[in-house]
Amino acid sequence: MTFSAPEIAAKHQPGQFIILRIDAVGERIPLTIADSDTKDGTITLIVQAVGKTTQQLAGLKPGDNIQDLSGPLGMPTQIEKNLGTVVVIGGGVGTAPLYPIARGFKAAGNKIITILGARNKDLLILQKEFEDLSDELIVMTDDGSLGTKGLVTNALQGLIDRKEDIQKVVAIGPLIMMKFVVELTKQHDLPTVVSLNSMMIDGTGMCGGCRLKVGGQTRFTCVHGPEFDGLQVDFDTLLRRGNTYKHEEQCRLDKFLKG
């Protein structure tokens, strides 16, 4: 979805996000910016319709308006020049925010190996864009309907086994995917960056809803992130907190779908 937001487009850097509200009584949700166009003054978001608000968002038509959005929020990606080989790993809709990050590393003179994973071929996004951008693209699907059957960690292990000189790993996707990527990279002492999409309310660090533990210290995704040193993130606590409102979320979705 493309939104007219010239001020945000002018300031956006890879890794940053926005928080939007569809209407005056709607919840505020964070979404990472997948692309921006300073000439047209637009930002692009890629949304998977899974909850009440994303279902409502997906129902908008060209020309519709939303109540408001704020951004760009969060710290931009730290992109090093001529670092060497950077492996970028996208899982599901996490592939969307990965694209501007990979593009930034490529423009900075790095070799890009991309691993894209999804449950099936219908849920894989931006394949053509990553084919054009990457020095090597590996596609993994859980059911084998596209690329190789298996997990993104299988592909990463293959790169490690062939002695690829990996200088950095960037992984964005479901928490459980990022957790297992980090468990693998820890074994090989590979610097790993993850981008987190925690529960968020105000996006300014005041509410504390997006708190997490990084290296044993409390951090807030909205102002200290969304990117963190994956080797320091307490994923188990994050996974537990992510399920806190599952029942309420389902009830809200059911009510919305019933009209």
pLDDT digits (tens, 9 = 90+) for 84-111: 999 999 998 889 999 999 999 999 999 9
Q: For residue range 2-59, what is the model confidence (pLDDT) as tens digits?
A: 999 999 999 999 999 999 999 999 889 999 899 999 999 999 999 989 899 999 999 9
Which of 15, 46, 73 marks a domain boundary? 73
* Neighbouring residues of 91: CB distance < 8 A, sequence distance ≥ 6: 117, 118, 152, 171, 172, 173, 174, 177, 178
Residues 25, 61, single domain; the answer is: yes
* Neighbouring residues of 184: CB distance < 8 A, sequence distance ≥ 6: 153, 156, 157, 160
Residues 129, 197, single domain; the answer is: yes
Question: Residue 99: what residue type?
Answer: Y
Please give the pLDDT value at position 205.
86
Q: What does each C-alpha distance from 21 to 29, 157, 172, 250 come to in angstroms?
A: 7, 40, 24, 19
Q: For residue range 203-241, what is the model confidence (pLDDT) as tens digits?
A: 888 888 899 999 999 999 999 999 999 999 999 999 988
* Ramachandran angles phi, psi of 189, nearest 5°: 55, 45
Q: Is 46 annotated as a binding residue?
A: yes
Q: Is 222 annotated as a binding residue?
A: yes
Q: For residue range 45-91, what is the model confidence (pLDDT) as tens digits?
A: 999 898 999 999 999 999 999 999 999 999 999 999 999 999 999 99
Q: Is 251 annotated as a binding residue?
A: no
Please give the pLDDT value at position 198.
80
Q: Is 207 annotated as a binding residue?
A: yes
Does any domain span residue 254?
no
Q: What single DSSP character describes residue 7? A: H
Residues 109, 231, single domain; the answer is: yes
As for how many domains the chain has, the answer is 2
Residues 65, 29, single domain; the answer is: yes
Query: What CATH number did the domain enclosing 146 receive?
Result: 3.40.50.80
Please give the pLDDT value at position 45.
93
pTM of the model: 0.91
Please give the pLDDT value at position 193.
97
Please give the pLDDT value at position 64.
95
Please give the pLDDT value at position 187.
96
Q: Is 48 annotated as a binding residue?
A: yes
Question: Residue 77: what residue type?
Answer: T
Residues 69, 89, single domain; the answer is: no
Owning domain of residue 193 = 85-242
